[in-house]
Structure 1
């Protein structure tokens, strides 16, 4: 991308066309997201770090924020060292565009739960994430019971894990287009 992070700090028409091609956003939305990105990039480095992500109130309030932030930079093995450039930022947020497909939204949601990245959600992963979501408000044995019941209900292959197909089937009646869309 020619003008991205150039000294005039504006996106060129070439940049906008390339970014539009790789995302579900139009050029006006991309410009707005770029301005937001620049505001988040407090040190002007051209990337957003974990601390800078934590300046987003909605993200801080999300109990799964570490998982969500980690998915912006999936190559980074230590979320504490995450460094997300604008392309990564835009590509990830593209899933949340009202124009994003239901399948992409499902894939993203599945990745949040698939901590090991092995295309399966096992009881340990489900327990860990449920524990993050409920904190101390529910006792461990109650969370274990919930995990057992979810696996029992969703796991049609009876292998003790939830596959992407099973995950999709469990969420088939959920309006992901509304629940996983942002207004730009």
Structure 2
């Protein structure tokens, strides 16, 4: 999208606005940033290029965040995916969109629920070697026990996740300036 030229075409801008919460000016700013990150001018950003972004490099969940951006699993993100994914972080994004994104970060295997292995994987990324495997598993077990209240199936569904995140300040935690 727009990779043959250094500017986005009007129809591309219109389509990107329809799939995101961004204004035309914001999309142009994002395109400039995208082009800067696309070191080899391939029209996509590799996982390595994405995780080198300072804001992501500091985050222990950076690879999980990028995996959610990478909708087709090709280990790269094109500009359309970039805009659609970043749209979740805009002030205009709805709480439901932010919750869905956060849920996908935790749903490592992509099966629509957060099970013990998903949660263990994410917590291990977050705490590193600060907790033992047994301590992490204990946290996982307790979290699932507390959140799995609707169907008691041993996993956290999206509805259970929303319920557990009721008081979370996602509007500030998952919002950035463009």
Name the TM tier (shorter chain): over 0.9
2: CA distance, partners of 1:83 / 1:116 = 18
Q: Where does 1:12-161 land on structure 2 (aligned, <5 Å)?
A: 12-76=9-73, 82-156=75-149, 157-161=151-155
What are structure 2's unaligned runs of at least 5 residues?
none
The aligned counterpart of 1:162 is 156
- Structure 1 unaligned segments of length 5 or more: list them: none
Contact 2:21 2:92 in 1 (8 A): yes
User: What is the alpha-carbon distance in structure 2 between the residues aligned to residue 119 and residue 49 of structure 1?
Assistant: 25
Deviation >6 Å, runs of 4+: none
Question: Which whole-Å CA distance do the structure 1 matches of 2:43 and 2:81 have between them?
Answer: 11
Count, aligned residues: 177
The Cα shift of 1:61 comes to 1.5
TM-superposed CA distance for 1:105, in Å, is 0.6
Shift of 1:100: 0.6
Kept after mapping to 2: 8 A contact 1:40/1:55: no
CA distance in 2, matches of 1:180, 1:119: 21
Q: With the length of structure 2 as denominator, give the TM-score of the two structures.
A: 0.95
Residues of 2 paired with 1:65 and 1:130: CA distance? 13
The Cα RMSD (Å) is 1.2
* Pairwise CA distance, 1:173: 0.9
How many angstroms does 1:55 deviate by?
2.2
Spell out, residue by residue over 1:104-140, the C-alpha distance to the aligned partner (whole angstroms, 9 max, x if none).
1111110111112111111111111101100000111
Separation (CA, whole Å) in 2 of partners of 1:140 and 1:6: 49
CA contact (8 A) 2:51 2:63 kept: no
